[in-house]
Amino acid sequence: NAGVTQTPKFQVLKTGQSMTLQCAQDMNHNSMYWYRQDPGMGLRLIYYSASEGTTDKGEVPNGYNVSRLNKREFSLRLESAAPSQTSVYFCASSGGRSSYNEQFFGPGTRLTVL
C-alpha cells in the first residue's frame, strides 16, 4: 500500500504558465481533498470530492480547477499560475472502515510561481 501519492514533489513555474498536480490513493477511499499550506495560515481547503463524479469548492477555490478522474485519482489544475499560488499543496483521502474517518495525507508538492 503506497497510501496517497503526489507528483511532482517540486515545481517552479513562471507567471501565466499552467500545470496539473496529480494525486492518487490506493486505499479505495471515496473522499479526496486538495489543500494548500502557507506559513501562518495553516491548511486551507481548495476543493474536495466526496465521491467519484462529484467535486465541491472549499475555502479558496479561485484560480484552480479539479478533476476526479476515477475513484483513485484527483488532480488539481492551475490554468494561469500567479505568484500568490506559491505554496505547498497537499492531497488527502478518507473513507475507510474507521468510524472516525481519518484523513490520510500525501507528502506534498512544493510549488513556486515566479
Partner 1 sequence: GEDVEQSLFLSVREGDSSVINCTYTDSSSTYLYWYKQEPGAGLQLLTYIFSNMDMKQDQRLTVLLNKKDKHLSLRIADTQTGDSAIYFCAERIDDKIIFGKGTRLHILP
Find out whether the peptide bond into 107 is cis, omega within 30 degrees of 0.
no
Options 20, 102, 112, 114; binder of partner 1; rule CB under 8 A: 102
Options 55, 106, 111, 113; binder of partner 1; rule CB under 8 A: 106
Nearest residue to 90 via CA among 15, 32, 31 = 32
Residue 5 interacting with partner 1 (CB under 8 A): no
Q: How many CB atoms lie within 10 A of CB 54?
A: 11
Residue 52 interacting with partner 1 (CB under 8 A): no
Nearest residue to 34 via CA among 99, 111, 98, 114 = 111
Residue 61 interacting with partner 1 (CB under 8 A): no
Options 19, 50, 61, 73; binder of partner 1; rule CB under 8 A: 50
Residue 34 interacting with partner 1 (CB under 8 A): no
Nearest residue to 49 via CA among 26, 27, 72 = 72
Distance in Å, CB of 17 to partner 1, minimum? 25
